[in-house]
Amino acid sequence: MQDTYPFKIGLFGIGLDTYWPQFDGLKERLKGYLQTVEHRLNTYGAEVVNAGLVDAPEKAFKAGHFFRQQDVDLIFLHVTTYALSSTVLPVVQRADVPVIILNLSPESSIDYEWFNSIDDRTRMTGEWLAHCGACPVPEIANVFRRADIDFHQVTGILDENDSCWEEVREWVEAANVAHTMFHNRLGCMGHYYSGMLDIYSDMTLQYATFGGHIELIEVDELTKIRLDVSDQEIKKRVQLFQKEFDVQDDCSLNALQESARTSVALDKIVDKYELGSLAYYYKGTGVPENEATIATIILGTSLLTARGIPVAGEYEVKNAQAMKIMDSFGAGGSFTEYYAMDYDSDVVLMGHDGPGHIKIAEGKTKVKPLDVYHGKVGQGLSVEMSVKHGPVTLLSVVEDGGTIKLLVAEGESVPGPIMEIGNTNSRYQFSTGARDFVEQWNSEGPAHHCAAGIGHIASKIMKLGNLLDIDVTKIC
């Protein structure tokens, strides 16, 4: 669905038409600033819709309608010089999308000696106006506050090496993730794990917060598709397993073939419903065919997660959303929970049974046979992996008193011994220390699952929260 509605960002600059006949070359110079910004934005992977230099109220109305017609997701307002707030307000009111004020100076400082040597005061004024982009920002901010328009600022220099551009990039990435979530189709197959009260979700609240569509799917449908998978499809999928996983010698060919059958069926149901993520759980008791489907699902769901279609077990809708956010930022997003504490090493052991994000694994993900799925029906093949050693971010989508907030923490995935039990398992260190981390995390009231991804991306997640108008709490 996202391909039908491309991600677009709007851009416009502001000036004052009264200036143009007074100061030769000023308008062209400011347009040059705007072109510099457009060029930089074009490198961030979005389609840029440039409304040009808006210098009068009538042009502001035109720009607002233009952005609305172009269906932009975000607007960057580049303040090139002093301009009236009346040339800004109609644009953002009509477009009705988040707005970022770019307060970017053309140079790091004015060459005062050269400036004061100019022997024409009119020319001096024109030069001054070419540097006074910061001047109208308080006026614009005042009007936005009084008009109840949320806004954000980036302050810096036009020079591409200035640190402000990384902040601009993060705003673009966050807006792209918001766009992805709005168009995402989340499949929910089966039912909740009975009695696991923290994972129960208000699906309408998920719609209201992130947008998207939730498709309720019967396990019976996956079972029917599974039974119709051909021997050739199974053979090819087993070959894919051998390529993508480190399949252990004690995995039987029959177990691989049964998992392959389910994996192919999963791909078909994902294609049918155009799913971008999936949450599932099913007891599988009473109907042997359904039990076989669920018992053989782990390898297929791991492959889907690696393809950017994250799969959360135990019907954890909130965590499917968190995993999709992390994956959309390019950080992965593997299904995880606390396992245990290692006080000697000051680490928290975290992982989960079921699917793992094999693209962010430390080395190749192992496939092991299990005689029992703890707390679940059946037996079969499972995956064992650790998240890549290095910086990591944890994210939880938290339902809290009728609202949704994001809970985030940055830490490190560190080497060391793990429990080699055929499940995902990682060792995480946090700047707060393990004891304080778990207490602070728990005090925010998340469900016991979260999404683990590579890199430190809390600043991006906080920008996403700003764009979605939801709270973000960072633990460390």
Q: Could you state, in order of their start, the residue ranges of all structural domains in the chain?
A: 2-174, 184-474
Contact between residue 420 and residue 456 where contact means Cβ atoms under 8 Å apart: no
CA dihedral 219, 222, 226, 229 (to 10 degrees): 180
Indicate the class that CATH gives domain 184-474. Answer: alpha beta
Written as six digits, the tokens of 163 are: 């640190």
Go through 157-192 and write b for each residue having 16 or more CB atoms within 10 A of its CB, e for each that does not. Answer: bbeeebebbebbbbbbbbbbbbbbbbbbbbbbbbeb
3 state SS of 178: helix
Look at residue 423 in the predicted model and tell me its pLDDT: 79
Residue range 2-174, CATH number:
3.40.50.10940
Give me the helix-helix angle, 26-42 and 164-183, nearest 10°: 60
- Tens digit of pLDDT for each residue in 332-379? 999 998 889 999 999 999 888 778 899 999 999 998 887 666 666 667
Fold matches, 2-174 and 184-474: no
Place of tokens 């019976």: 220
Look at residue 372 in the predicted model and tell me its pLDDT: 65
Closest CA to 40 of 71, 73, 9: 9
Closest CA to 164 of 296, 55, 37, 342: 37
Which residue type, as a one-letter code, is found at position 259?
Answer: S
Distances (CA, A) of 210 to 203, 321, 404: 11, 9, 10
Residues 140 and 155: their CA atoms lie apart, in Å, by: 14
Phi and psi angles of residue 390, each rounded to the nearest 5 degrees, phi first = 135, -165
Report the predicted TM-score, pTM, of the whole model to 2 decimal places. Answer: 0.94
Look at residue 137 in the predicted model and tell me its pLDDT: 94
HSE-CB at 154 with a 13 A cutoff on CA atoms is 23
pLDDT greater than 70 at residue 241: yes
- Tens digit of pLDDT for each residue in 369-401? 876 666 666 677 888 889 999 999 999 999 998
Residues 50 and 443: their CA atoms lie apart, in Å, by: 45
User: Would you give the DSSP letter of residue 356?
Assistant: -
Written as six digits, the tokens of 256 are: 């691989």
* Composition of the chain by helix, strand, coil, percent to 5: 40, 25, 35
Closest CA to 104 of 154, 175, 46: 154
Contact between residue 154 and residue 167 where contact means Cβ atoms under 8 Å apart: yes
Look at residue 145 in the predicted model and tell me its pLDDT: 96
3 state SS of 121: helix
Give me the helix-helix angle, 298-306 and 253-273, nearest 10°: 50
E-state strands within 209-271: 213-217, 246-247
Mean pLDDT over all residues of the chain? 93
pLDDT greater than 90 at residue 27: yes
Residues 305 and 299: their CA atoms lie apart, in Å, by: 10
- Tens digit of pLDDT for each residue in 244-289? 999 999 999 999 999 999 999 999 999 999 999 999 999 877 788 8
Q: What's the average model confidence in pLDDT over 293-300?
A: 92
- The strand pairing partners of 49, in sequence order, are 10
Burial class (CB in 10 A: 0-12, 13-18, 19+), 57: middle
Report the range of poorest mean pLDDT among 195-199, 304-308, 412-416. 195-199
**CA angle, residues 172, 212, 452, in degrees to nearest 5:** 65
3 state SS of 79: strand
Which residue type, as a one-letter code, is found at position 236?
Answer: K
- The strand pairing partners of 360, in sequence order, are none
